[in-house]
Structures are given as structure tokens and as C-alpha cells.
Amino acid sequence: MARTPVTLLTGFLGSGKTTLLNRALRDPRLRGTVVIVNEFGEIGLDHELIEASSDAVVLLQNGCLCCSVRGDLVNTLIDLHQRQLQGELPAFDHVVIETSGLAEPTPVAEVLLAAAGVKPCFSLAGIVATVDAVNGQDTLDAHEQSVKQVALADRIVVTKSDLHADDGLIERLKRLNPASEVVDVHEADPAALIRASHGSGFEPGWRPAAPAPHRPGLRGQDARSRHDERIGRFSIVRDEPWDLDMLRLFLDALAANAGPALLRVKGIINVEGSPERPAVIHGAQQLVHSLAWLDRWPSEDRRTRIVFITLDQAAGDIEELVADIERLSRRTRAARERAARPHDGVRQ
């Protein structure tokens, strides 16, 4: 049986991986694609934001693909292959692995190229890395993972060029990886970017790297998971809908505090007055995107869920900000309700 090609989709936090993938998945040429998505956030949201049937999306959570959930990836691939053979899954002819934005791609590629049980059934078709034009240069300066993602890619896709043109970034990407194609997402066919079986430069002679040496101070922990040390992840979950004004206030506050410490914020928000259509918020480093709306809730879970990934920043700061905004919103709402009652406080 032919091995199923796998595309590794990498790129730093918020650089546009899911957006590119969603555009590609709308193309009938990707009808037979299964997506495995890994998120670093405390709760997973991407599986809800990927526009594919739930059968075709597998979420790997609770850690980063390049370290703590590598074993889960092996098991997931083997399980997908077996369920397809047994007819429990619709046949698929392609797999995309969307890594978390913090993942180093080499250990993930190793799984495809060397893991027992995976290698006979799957082949690494290519590595695609997204780099966003707004944060790209700063991210390359500050985060080694981003450099590794770019250095390993067969294809580098520059996103958000509609917001900021950066020729210097393109030059830098070409210098970092002269063998790779650098393309602008807005000038390319998304399905071809993801699906083209251009073949990774790794096979067949590639050998997995030697295991990382043990580092003192990381007892019991794979040295590759050291990116956990400075990075915080936490989430806010609310049952009650949020007032739209409050949500706007929250976005303004985030935008005012945006910067290198806010690696990623992503959320689905239940907004008062819009019970069927949740709002979606996104931010990464210096950029907080404008509010967007989904056409419907992607699952039964209708709670507001916001995930944060931060650098050297305590969860408490953001929780305090949210608590302040919620307090303000409650007071505003109470005042509005009082004003709407015609004879409030007047005894009849």
C-alpha cells in the first residue's frame, strides 16, 4: 500500500497557519485530507476553528508536539491508518499536521521519518512554514523556534503582507533558507501550497538527530521542552455572555498592552444579543486583530473561552484586567437597567 503523504504546517504563534489551512481545505483537491492539530494553549480552540468535519480533525493537546505529546502523534498516526484500513474512517489520501506555534519541526519530522509503525505508512511530503509580515522580524530575533521553523521549511509562506510590507523580511528569509521557496500567501493558490508533493529534502538519506543531551536543572524533563520555562499559558472561561461594549473594551486594553510579552491570545466569545454567532478574537505580539464573527457555534460548547500564551508575564495581570472590565461592565449594565425603569426609586 502506498504511503500517505504528510505535510507539516509550522510557523510561529498567530502567524496564520489555521487561516491558510482553512483556505486550502475549501478546495475540492483537499477533500481527502485529515488534519492533526497540536495546540500549546491551556485549552484547545483550533479544532473548532478549522473548517473541516470533526471526523477529519484530530486535536493533540496538553503540550507541544516537539516534546511532551510526540508519543501521542505516533499513536494518532497509527490509529488513523488502522481505522482507515478497517473502514471505520472515510478513506484519506493526505494528512496535514499543524504544529503548535512553539514547536520545533525537527522532532516532529523525526516521527514521520523514523518512528516504528509510522514510517511504513506515511511519508513526509513537505514542510510549510508561515511567517507573518508584521511580527516576523521581531519573532526571528527573539525566538529560536521561529528560526528553526524557517530553516527547515521547503516552502515559506509570508502572511499579513496586506497589513505591512517588509522586503527586509523576505531577504532575511531567503538568507536563512536559500533552498526554500518564499511566497506571499495573497499571491498563491492555498491548496497547492499545502498539497503539492514537492518532496521534502530529507528523504531518503536523512537520519534523526542524536537525542538531546541531558541538561542539569531539567530533571525528569526532555531538554527539548525547555521552551516551557519562560512561557505561561492560561485561559479564561465564562458561562455568562459578555456585553459587546465590554468585549470591545477588552480588545482595546489588549491592544494597549500588546507587545512581545503577549505571544498569543485567541478566543471564542459568547456575546450578549448574538446567541447563535460567536465572536472570535486573535492577537499575537504587537498585533491585535479586529473582532471577527463566526456564522455559527462550531460545537455544543457555547462558553466564552479565551487562551493566552505569554512570555515572562504572570497570569494574574491579565486575570486582573479581565476582572476590572467585568466589574465595570456589571456596573454599566446595572446603571442602564436602572435608567430604563421609568419609576425607579419612586414610591407609588
Ligand X SMILES: Nc1nc2c(ncn2[C@@H]2O[C@H](COP(=O)(O)OP(=O)(O)OP(=O)(O)O)[C@@H](O)[C@H]2O)c(=O)[nH]1
Q: Does 163 bind ligand X (CB under 6 A)?
A: yes
Q: Tell which one of 19, 106, 137, 221 touches ligand X (CB under 6 A).
A: 19
Estimate the crossing angle of helix 105-114 against helix 144-152, to 10 degrees: 40
Interface region with ligand X, contact rule CB under 6 A, candidates 10-18, 28-36, 70-78, 83-91? 10-18
Copy the grid coordinates of residue 246. Answer: 465590554
Q: What's the closest the beta carbon of residue 83 comes to ligand X, in angstroms? A: 26
Q: Nearest-5° angle of CA 110, CA 118, CA 120?
A: 110
33 φ, ψ to 5°? -100, 135
Q: Tell which one of 4, 159, 200, 310 touches ligand X (CB under 6 A).
A: 159
Helix residue ranges, H only, the chain: 17-25, 46-49, 70-85, 105-114, 136-142, 144-152, 167-176, 190-195, 244-257, 315-340
Interface region with ligand X, contact rule CB under 6 A, candidates 6-14, 106-114, 189-197, 214-222? 6-14
Q: Which residues contact 72 (CB under 8 A, 6 or more apart)?
A: 60
| Site residues (CB under 6 A) for ligand X, limited to 319-348 | none
Interface region with ligand X, contact rule CB under 6 A, candidates 17-25, 233-241, 247-255, 335-343? 17-25
CB 300 within 8 A of CB 252: no
Q: Tell which one of 11, 126, 267, 278 touches ligand X (CB under 6 A).
A: 11
Q: What's the closest the beta carbon of residue 264 comes to ligand X, in angstroms? A: 5
| Site residues (CB under 6 A) for ligand X, limited to 267-286 | 282
Interface region with ligand X, contact rule CB under 6 A, candidates 27-35, 157-165, 323-331, 338-346? 157-165
Q: What's the closest the beta carbon of residue 33 comes to ligand X, in angstroms? A: 16
- Among candidates 6, 56, 39, 12, which has minimal Cα distance to 194? 6
| Site residues (CB under 6 A) for ligand X, limited to 44-103 | 46, 101
Q: Which sign does the torsion angle of CA 187, 190, 192, 194 carry? A: positive
Round to whole Å and give the CA distance between 184 and 162.
10
Q: Tell which one of 4, 17, 47, 145 touches ligand X (CB under 6 A).
A: 17
Q: What's the closest the beta carbon of residue 327 comes to ligand X, in angstroms? A: 28
Nearer to ligand X, 128 or 325 (CB): 128
Q: Does 105 bind ligand X (CB under 6 A)?
A: no
Copy the grid coordinates of residue 277. Answer: 454567532
Round to whole Å and give the CA distance between 151 and 178.
9
Q: Tell which one of 55, 162, 171, 301 touches ligand X (CB under 6 A).
A: 162
Q: What's the closest the beta carbon of residue 117 comes to ligand X, in angstroms? A: 27
Q: Does 190 bind ligand X (CB under 6 A)?
A: no
Round to whole Å and give the CA distance between 154 and 156.
7
Q: Does 227 bind ligand X (CB under 6 A)?
A: no
| Count of residues that bind ligand X according to CB under 6 A | 19
- Among candidates 215, 286, 284, which has minimal Cα distance to 14? 284
Nearer to ligand X, 248 or 330 (CB): 248
Copy the grid coordinates of residue 45. Answer: 480552540
Which residues would be at the binding site for ligand X (CB under 6 A)?
Answer: 11, 13-19, 46, 101, 159-160, 162-163, 185, 264, 266, 282, 289
